Structure formats: structure tokens, C-alpha cells
Amino acid sequence: MRLRHTLLASSLALALASLTACGTSAQAPAAPQAAVVQSAADPRPAAAPAPAAPTVAAAPPAVQQTAAAQAASAAYDFDMDVFHPVVARNGMVATEQELASKIGLDILKAGGNAVDAAVGIGFALAVALPNAGNLGGGGFMVVHDAKTGKNVALDFREIAPKGATRDMYLDASGKVVDGKSLYTHYAIGVPGTVAGMEHALKSWGTMPLAKVIAPAAALADKGFPVSETLAKILQQEKKNMGQWPATRAIFWKNGEPLKAGDPLVQKDLAASMRLIGQQGARAFYQGAIAQKIAAETAPHAGAVTLADLRDYQVVERTPTTGTYRGYQIVTMPPPSSGGPHLVQILNMLEPLPLAQWGANSAQTIHYLAESMKLAYADRSEYLGDPAFVKIPLKGLTSKAYANELLKTIDPNAARPGKSIKPGKPQPYESDQTTHYSVVDKAGNAVAVTYTLNTNFGSGIVAKGTGILLNNEMDDFSAKPGVANAYGLVGGDANAVAAGKRPLSSMTPTMVLKDGKPVLVTGSPGGARIITTVLQTVVNVIDFGMNPAEAASTPRVHHQWTPDELRIEKGLSPDTIALLKARGHNVQLKASMGRTQTIQLRGGALYGYSDPRNPDGKTLGY
């Protein structure tokens, strides 16, 4: 974004002077006069020191450097980058799993476009990243069509079954039943991924569904060694996943979760994928797969039924848009809260001199945190499924509203979360998820964030399908004021209702300049998705970072409640002390987000997979 700086030879003058001085004689400076030290036991009177003669420092020798030396030094020190992204010119994919990235890149090399590759990756991640990649979940996709210049937001979010009711997660005394919205058959929303992938391919792709699915099905059939990262997650989820025989049959060996190096073979999933390739999404929503999912949930009245699957529909939506320092922001609209609040926070930050303050300075972090609090307070009140609630979207994303909010921020003190109430945008009305980004040689771009919700979703595999089912119903507000798995509090706008899409934080995002993508990004991370994407955009636009630097910079997060400024390790103690002095409740916690980012500049593609997940890989050609 900001021009990359080249270090000129003159920047090395002092260092070269030192080198030159090594072979030159110079007048030694006068020795300083020794101080007279007298013992307390010395009875002699102290002699007055002689007045020191004034000295004049000798001028340093003039630095001379030949043209050849200047050229050599310039060639040696020419790059300001600390972390280096992957560079390509014809196409690029960035995902959380190298096996999926290879499949996406192969599709691009075979002549497929960005959407073909994105669909292939969507199925591949269901195999290689089973804790988040999925067929039994849902998500969002933002597509930029280079030929028409059109941007589209595709909503394939899960839907509450027809038997869902507002109080379905409460007991007789009105208290939330612990775990019912997370680890039971009632946690499952009607999945949207398969319908979404088919719709995208038919609308903007070029290849047959069977062809883009085939590599993922082959990977599931053959299997692959479990990585250290996946083995740790399987061990973490042992208690939940171990409840279900069909799940243990895939992810267990000798009575324990698979360990690093063990082969993960998914024969049933391979068969399900090939059936979808042959019959399309109909196999999942009406055919043999639908029958098996319905059989899994049938003993649980009010859970997903065959009719729920049959009636599922994806929705094409107009993206939420905004501007920031001359760039266009194109992101996901409701039922994503991510897009509206990304734009809202950027609007609050735009009048501020962030570049002057510096990345992760106390001043920058203070304003980031205070802006985040205000946006998350609004999230709790206004955001939900637009088919069920009226959302003041224009007001929330209005620069005038942002300016009013900005006036409430004290530059020197953190505002207690309990003192913040949702604002009034109406007058301005005129973790475990995964993200991947794809750009092709024609300039088409795709940003996809999809999910099972928490790791492995409900943990339930529909017997005979190999498909893990989501626990997305936990994203509803089971009861106003009671937080979900990510600590997010919601109100009536996000209450459970039959046929309703739960509110999401997923934020697949593109940044455009003059109508063309210059940044494609997104992240998993539950409540932290919005702030992770926010800091990626700010790091690139305000601080001139490349995707590798932007991903490697420590992150911060505040979501209004709980009232804590969450930080990653890496901030200096000085900065933390300054934040605490302003009243911030600073808490060092686990790392946040795993971005997959592609930047387009100067005719080349620059991409990077977040180092917070060592299994991720960006590939290009």
C-alpha cells in the first residue's frame, strides 16, 4: 500500500566511516584528568584541583566512498521487509492446510479459475482440516468477478431447524442447560456448505463439480499422516468426540484419539464426496446422504429433519461496503456481524494519525480497544438474521455515526465496559472456523470463511457418511445476557427461531483500489475474527506491512464484555505498563486468529499463511 522504501547508500555512511577508520591513523583524544579521591581517614587537607584547560573536540575525518563501494553497500542493504511473503504472478491460494493448498493450486494450474479452486479447497479442507473444514457446517463467501467488476456475498450459513424454539436450551426454571447447544443433537443447524459450494461453482466457476471434488475424495480414500497440530486438537476434544461411536471409528485408534503420524483414512467421507460429485447437492439434501443425516437426528424431537435438509437455500447478498483512506472495503453483510463492525471500527479509526503513532504503540492500541468496545456493544443489540430483524446497517456503517462514537473516547483513559451501552445508529439510517483466499491470473478473487463452530462442531458424525455435523446453534442467544462459547452476549435480535440463521463473526474481506482487489483476507477465531481482520487491514494500509509482516505482528482484542484487553505475547512491558496506567485490564492469553492473506501490487501476488497455525501454506505459480 505505502510505497516500499529502498535503503540508499548514504544510510550506511556511519558504518562505513567506522570501517574506513580502522585503517587510518587519527589523533588520540586527550586523556581525561583523573579525579582526586581522598579517604575519610586521610588527615591531609585536600588540594584544590588545577583548573582544566578548555579542549576542542577534533573534527571527525571526512568520509570518502568510491562509486563502487556505494553500489556495493546499496546492493547489500536494499530490503526493508522483516518477514517475507510468498510471491507469484499467475495465481495463488492461502489456506490453513498444505494438502488443501496443493489441491487448489493444481486446479488453477489446470486452467480453473479462482472459484473452481475455492470449491476444490472447500472439499479438501473437510478432509485435511476436519476440526474446521467441513461438509456438515456452513459459511460465507465473497467473490470478485474481474470481468464484470461485480462483488457478491454468498450466504451459506446454517439454519435453525423447523422444530427449534426460543427457549429450547432452557430448563424448567429458565436456566440454560449446560452443553445442550454445543454437544448434543440439538446443537446441529441445517448445514449449508455443500449447497454453497455447488451454487458458487454453477454461478462463477468453469469446471464440473465432480472434477473439483475428485482430488479431495482421493485424499480421503488414501489418507494422510496426522500432523502434530491436529493430534493436539484431537486430544483436547477427546471427552466430547469419544461419546459417539461413528466418530471414534474414524478418529480413534486402540481406544485413543489418533496421534501424530497415524494415518487418517476417511472411506465414508470419500464415498459421500463422490456421490455429491455425481448427483450434485441433491445427494446431500434429498438423497442417500440426507437420509443418513436424518436417521442420526431422528430420535431427538425438534432436531434437524429430512424436510429441513430438503428446504435449505443459499442466499446471494449485496456485500457490506465502506471506504478507508482511499480504499474500498468489501465484506460480508448480516447475518455476519463481522462486515458491519469491521467498517464501523475503520470509520472510527480513519480520522486518527495511526501511521504517526506506530503499530502497537500504546496510543494506537488504546484507540483500537476503545473502538472495539463500542462496536461490540452495538453487536449485542442490533445484529441478527436480516430475514427476522430490522438491522440499522446504514447507520452502523455511517461515518457520521462513527464520528459521534469517536467523541466518547477519552484519549487518556479506558472507559469501563459496564458504562458502555449500545449506541443509537438509527438516526444515521438513511474458533473453529477456517478461512482461505484465492486469486487467479485473470484477477478473480475469492474469500471464504466457513465453519463447524467449535473444534469438530458437535463431534457427531452421521453414521455411514463420514461427515461431522456442526454445533452452530450455540451462535444464537440461548438466553439474553448469557454468553456463548466465545463469551459473546446477544439479545432478542439473535434469539433462537425456526428457519433463522444465527449471527456470525465471520468476516471474509477484500480491499479494493479503483474497483480492483489489492487485498484478500479473513481469519477463523470466533469473537476475535473481526478484530483480527481489522488489524490485518490496518497493518497493511496504515503501517505499510506486507502480508507476512501483518500476520506476524502481535494482536490485541476487546469485545466489550468481558471487560478485558486481551493481548498476545510480544508487546513490550513499557507498552503494557502505559495501557494499564490508562485503566485497561490487560490480559495475556492464547494467540488469536490465523489469517490467510493475498496482496496484489505491482503485477504480482504476495501471500502468507498465518504462522499461528504451522500446518497452513500459501502456494502460487
Our measurement of the distance from residue 251's CA atom to the centroid of its chain's CA atoms, rounded to an integer in Å, reads 27
Task: State how beta strands 86-88 and 320-324 pair.
Answer: unpaired
CATH code at position 171: 3.60.20.40
Residue 171 lies in a domain: yes
The residue segments making up the domain with residue 435 are 86-223+265-318+431-620
Is 66 known to be catalytic?
A: no
Task: State how beta strands 586-588 and 509-513 pair.
Answer: unpaired
Beta strand extents in 452-515 (DSSP E only): 461-462, 467-468, 509-513
Please list, in sequence order, all residues whose beta carbon lies within 8 angstroms of the beta carbon of residue 38, skipping any fewer than 6 positions away.
Answer: 44, 46
What integer pLDDT is reported at residue 8 of this predicted model? 31
Q: 80: helix, coil or strand?
A: coil
What integer pLDDT is reported at residue 2 of this predicted model? 45
Residue 131 lies in a domain: yes
With beta carbons less than 8 A apart as the criterion, state whether 140 and 342 touch. Answer: no
Number of domains in the chain: 1
Q: For residue 426, how many other CB atoms are within 10 A of its CB?
A: 13
Task: State how beta strands 461-462 and 92-95 pair.
Answer: unpaired
Instruction: Please tell me whether the overall predicted TM-score, pTM, comes out greater than 0.85 for this model.
Output: yes
Please give the grid coordinates belonging to residue 27.
Answer: 589523533
Q: Between the CA of residue 162 and those of 61, 137, 199, 507, 619, what are the distances in Å?
A: 85, 17, 23, 27, 42
Alpha carbon distance 563, 489 (integer Å): 12
Residue 292 lies in a domain: yes
Residue 18 lies in a domain: no
Q: Which of these is catalytic: 433, 451, 521, 595?
A: 433
Please give the grid coordinates belonging to residue 83.
Answer: 518477514
Q: Between the CA of residue 563 and those of 379, 511, 513, what are the distances in Å?
A: 15, 31, 36
What integer pLDDT is reported at residue 470 of this predicted model? 97
Residue 117 lies in a domain: yes
Ranges under pLDDT 70 in the chain: 1-57, 429-431, 480-491
With beta carbons less than 8 A apart as the criterion, state whether 496 and 164 touch. Answer: yes
Residue 256 lies in a domain: no
Residue 473 lies in a domain: yes
Task: State how beta strands 256-257 and 556-557 pair.
Answer: unpaired
Q: Between the CA of residue 73 and those of 13, 65, 595, what are the distances in Å?
A: 10, 10, 36
83-126 per-position pLDDT tens digit? 999 999 999 999 999 999 999 999 999 999 999 999 999 999 99
How do the residues of the chain divide into helix, strand and coil, expressed in percent and rounded to 5?
35, 15, 45
